[in-house]
Amino acid sequence: MKMKTLISPLVLLIILLTACSNSSKVYDLATITQLFEEAELHLKPQAGDSYPIVMSIEPRVYELLDDSLYIYVFKAEDDLAEALKSVHIEDLFNVPPYVYQLNNILILYMPLSPTDVNFEKQIHDIIHNEQAQK
């Protein structure tokens, strides 16, 4: 009987620790824009209301020199995964964007010209470096 009461809290503790270690970091917009600033990619907010909504999430849109950057902040990584299953990002734009995902964040990079991709590598490196720090 005593062994049974000792095992139950131990099993509960293991379950809780496993659940916590499997959860992924939830990013906010300020953290993402800070990552870009640290990489010396200065984002200038754009105003407007005709940007594609993905699963009821409106993007924050930024100008990056002549290019555009759409940042969608989902509540959780699972919400973003669900959105990506039900929405074809390529269909939202005339020219398919470069698509990046960081946990609950979806970033779409739209170069002004498809042949003049200024920041694809730098954005990729920002995302890759942040993922490596997990």
Is 5 among the domain residues?
no
Residue 1 included in any domain? no
Helices (H), the chain: 2-22, 29-38, 77-86, 120-132
Predicted confidence (pLDDT) per residue in 35-65, tens digit: 999 999 999 999 877 789 999 999 999 999 8
Residue 6 domain flag: no
Tell me, yes or no, whether 12 lies in a domain: no
* pLDDT at 6 (0 to 100): 43
Between the CA of residue 31 and those of 23, 25, 36, 89, what are the distances in Å?
18, 11, 9, 23
pLDDT digits (tens, 9 = 90+) for 77-88: 999 999 999 998
Q: Would the pLDDT of 93 be above 60?
A: yes
Answer yes or no: is 4 within a domain. Answer: no
The confidence band for 91, taking pLDDT boundaries of 50, 70 and 90, is: confident
Range of the domain at 92: 25-132
Q: Quick one: which H or E segment has residue 101? A: strand 98-102
Count: domains in the chain: 1
Domain annotation covers residue 88: yes
- CATH number of the domain encompassing residue 116: 3.30.200
Would residue 7 count as lying in a domain? Answer: no
